[in-house]
Homo-oligomer: A and B are copies of this chain.
Amino acid sequence: MAYKEHYPSARLEEAVDAIGTLPGIGRRSALRLALHLLKQPSENVHHFTEAVNNLRDNVRYCRECRMIADEEVCSICSDRSRDHRTICVVSSVRDVMSIEATGQYRGVYHVLGGIISPLSGIGPSDLTIGRLIERVSALEDPQSAEVIMALSGDVEGETTAFYMYRQLAGTGIKITALARGLGFGDDLEYADSLTLGRSIAARVPFKG
C-alpha cells in the first residue's frame, strides 16, 4: 500500500490486521471485507465466525487416510463399495476433492498433508508417510494391491514419490503414477515444451 493508513477506529484496524493475515488478501482487500462485514446483520457475522471456529476446533482426521472427516473414519474409507486395495496418495484434501469430482476413481486415498520440501523445512516425518507404510503392510497379499502416486509433477512431488517408492518397494505392492502428457483438447501450439517433449517421448499406441 503506497500510503500510510489512517484508521478511524482501533477495532477496525484490528479486524483488518486479522483479515489481512489470510493468504492472498492484501490490506486494501482486508479493509473492504471488514467494511462489508460491518454492514451485514449481526447474526450473519456470528454465523461466519462460528463456522470458522467450529471447523478449526472440531476438525478430525480420518484414522485410515488422514483426510479431514466429521467422524473417526471418513465417508470414503467407510464406504464398503469402494476398492480398499487401491490407495491413491495425494498431498492435500483439495486433491481428493479434485479426483472425486472426476467420478473416475473408486479406490481409497491417503492424504500426506504436504510434500517433502527441504527449503520449507518439511521432511518425511512431517507427513503421514509412516502411516501409509503401516496401511500397506497390513494389506493381505500386497502383490495384488496398488498404490497410485498422485503428486504434483515438480521436483518436490517427484522427490516425495521417489522417497515413498523406496519405502514401499519391499512390500511388493504395485506402484503406479498419474499419466502425464498433453491435456485432452490441448492445442500443441500453446503447450509448454517440457510437457510436449515428454508427450512425444512417452507416446502410446494409437487407438483408432
Contact = CB atoms under 8 A, between A and B. Distances in A.
Interface of A: 3-12, 14-15, 17-19, 21-24, 29, 31-38, 40, 42, 44-60, 62, 67-70, 74-76, 92-94, 96-97, 100-102
Contacts of A44: 21
Given A3-B101, A94-B35, A8 B67 contact: yes
Given A44-B21, A45-B56, A48-B52, A70 B101 contact: no
A58 B22 contact: no
Contact of A36 (B14, B23, B54): B23
A33 B51 CA distance: 13
A19 B5 contact: no
